[in-house]
Structure formats: C-alpha cells, structure tokens
C-alpha cells in the first residue's frame, strides 16, 4: 500500500490478507472467547468475585447506623477502637475515614453477616487480608457484602486505595472466633 495512491485505492479492506495474519486473528478471537466464558465460570464456581449491593447514603446517616451497632453490641475496646460482637445474620457497619477503619468486629466462624461499608471522606479500598476480599469504598455509597468467615483468626483490613498522607496506617481488624 502506498501513500501516493489516490484515497480510493488506499483502502485497507481491499488489500489481500496474508495467511499468517488470519492465523493470529483466529488465535486472538478464540482466546477472547475462552476468557469471556471463563469470567462467569470463575464468578460462580471459583468464588473469585463478590456478589454485592450498593446504595446511595450520606456520611451522617451511615455514621449513625454504625454508631447504633457499636452502642448495641460493643464488648470491649482495643487501642481505643470499640470491638463489636454482633449476633449471627446481623447487619454490621464499617466506617472508612482518614485514616481508620471503625469499629473492629468479632465474628463467629461459619455464620453469615451483611457487612455494610462506606467512606466518610475520600475514596478508600477495602482489602481483607489474608483472604483477599477487595472492594472500593466511596463516599455517598453504601456497599453491602455478605461474609461468612470459615476460619478462626485475626484478619486485617487494609486500605488499598491511596487516601492521603496517613494511608499506610489505615488498618482495621476483624476477629473470627469458634
């Protein structure tokens, strides 16, 4: 193809396609199909993605819900952060704000809880380690995740979305007991 040809003779779809190009296009197309069908498979059978809900909220309304949970089920404090032990099946609220996850929770192994997440100020990332549960937490939105702890231990909540100068210290705790 030449740039000195008139436009009517420079159309790429009128050029013959080499055999090797057809082979690579076919390989790319088949690979795209495999990945497209694997995404729902991983979601359903691999438990790779969270099924969650999102609702509009205000920081004041969400903070009031979180405070009500703390007032109702607080069992102790660790380093000035209340530890809340809700009953199985409860709706629990976790507040992300500069630079803290509040409150800490003590959950029972094998029981399900609806974990509500929201930010009071900036975008934060909720990452529960070492189980690798990740989601974004945005101000003005309430993310709801159903969690069922299957192993006792102490889990750390890490903010994995840069949120300012104290980002490195934004940690929270979830304690899972038998």
Tokens of 140: 């003005």
Residues 16 and 92 reside in one and the same domain: no
Mean pLDDT taken over the chain: 90
Q: Sheet of 91-97: strands edge to edge?
A: 52-56, 141-147, 113-119, 91-97, 100-102
Give me the CATH number covering residue 173.
Answer: 2.60.40.420
Question: Would you say residue 20 lies in a domain?
Answer: yes
pLDDT at 6 over 70: no
Structural domain that includes position 20? 9-45
pTM given for the model = 0.75
Question: What average pLDDT score do residues 110-114 get?
Answer: 93
Question: What average pLDDT score do residues 6-24 get?
Answer: 79
139 strand-pairing partners? 119
Residues 66 and 153 reside in one and the same domain: yes
Tokens of 22: 């057809």
Residue with tokens 């609806």, as numbered in its chain: 114
Residues 6 or more apart whose CB falls under 8 angstroms from that of 52 comprise: 135, 143, 144, 145, 146
Where is average pLDDT lowest: 57-61, 84-88, 95-99, 132-136? 132-136
């Amino acid at each position: 193809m030449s740039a000195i040809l008139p436009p009517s003779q420079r159309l790429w779809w009128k050029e013959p396609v080499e055999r090797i190009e057809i082979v690579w296009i076919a390989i790319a197309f088949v690979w795209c199909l495999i990945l497209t069908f694997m995404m729902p498979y991983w979601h359903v059978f691999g438990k790779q993605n969270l099924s969650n809900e999102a609702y509009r909220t205000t920081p004041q309304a969400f903070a009031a819900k979180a405070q009500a949970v703390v007032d109702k089920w607080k069992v102790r404090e660790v380093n000035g952060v209340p530890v809340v032990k809700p009953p199985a099946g409860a709706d629990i609220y976790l507040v992300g704000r500069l630079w803290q996850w509040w409150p800490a929770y003590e959950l029972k192994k094998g029981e399900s809880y609806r974990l509500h997440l929201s930010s009071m100020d900036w975008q934060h990332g909720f990452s529960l380690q070492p189980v690798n549960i990740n989601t974004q937490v945005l101000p003005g939105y309430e993310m709801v995740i159903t969690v069922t702890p299957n192993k006792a231990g102490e889990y750390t909540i890490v903010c994995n979305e840069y949120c300012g100068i104290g980002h490195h210290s934004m940690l929270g705790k979830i304690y899972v007991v038998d």
